[in-house]
Amino acid sequence: MRLQLHRRGGQGSAGAQLARGVQHRSRQGRSLSWFRSIGARLRNRGNQRGLTLVELSSVSAIILIMAAVTYPVANTMLKRQKELELRRALRTIRTALDRFQYDTERFPGIRIGYLDRTNEEGYPEELEWLYEGIDIGDAVGTKIKYLRRMPLDPMTGAADWDTRSSRDDPESLFSDNINIFDVRSTSDKIGLDGTRYNTW
């Protein structure tokens, strides 16, 4: 009986020792893994470095080249957009001038109430008439407007249009101001097509 108890006790003691050994090796394994991860981090930090002077010079050169190529393209696109706006503004005003002239034939009250006798063609004598409106001279006092507002010249940023009468020479730099048959930009800059904006 004592021998059996001793054997059982011996088996229990051996099992406990085995368990303690496994736990000890497990702790050692975790410690080793932790040290390995720290070493890997240190090695990665050691591999990191700043840019050299040659690399910085290369990056700067690439940026300068890209800027030199991009700026002219962007400038041309902006100029083309302004030219489209100028053509649109000129077309809008010229259409309003033609409509006014057409209405002077339809409504005699316009000619009687607004136009000078020398203005036989019937075009307006003031650009303000186009957006301020005119009374056609009927019994109910009907007023007609041809523009909501005067378009701005995109080349100057203002509504400072140069005017030409129906009797002016197309190449003339001055107007007799009998009427307003046409408008032009006051900018003498050269467009993408090689012509000056004040000749459009």
Are 130 and 93 within 8 A, CB to CB? Answer: yes
Are 183 and 87 within 8 A, CB to CB? Answer: no
Q: What's the domain range around 167?
A: 56-199
pLDDT tens by residue, 36-75 = 655 555 455 445 555 687 777 777 778 888 777 777 788 8
Are 198 and 186 within 8 A, CB to CB? Answer: yes
Structure tokens at 149: 């507002």
Distance CA(33)–CA(198), nearest Å, equals 81
Structure tokens at 38: 């720290």
Identify whether 71 is part of a domain: yes
Identify whether 23 is part of a domain: no
Identify whether 12 is part of a domain: no
Q: What is the pTM of this model?
A: 0.65
Q: In terms of DSSP H, where are the helices of the chain?
A: 2-47, 53-106, 108-114, 128-132
pLDDT in tens, the chain (200 residues): 443 434 444 444 444 454 455 454 555 555 456 446 555 554 554 455 556 877 777 777 788 887 777 777 888 999 999 999 999 999 999 999 999 999 999 999 999 999 998 999 999 999 999 999 999 988 888 999 999 999 999 999 999 999 999 999 888 878 999 999 999 999 999 999 999 999 99
Identify whether 163 is part of a domain: yes
Identify whether 66 is part of a domain: yes
Identify whether 25 is part of a domain: no
Q: What are phi and psi of 163, to 5 degrees?
A: -115, 155
Identify whether 168 is part of a domain: yes
Structure tokens at 92: 């809008």
Number of domains in the chain: 1
Q: What are phi and psi of 183, to 5 degrees?
A: -130, 155
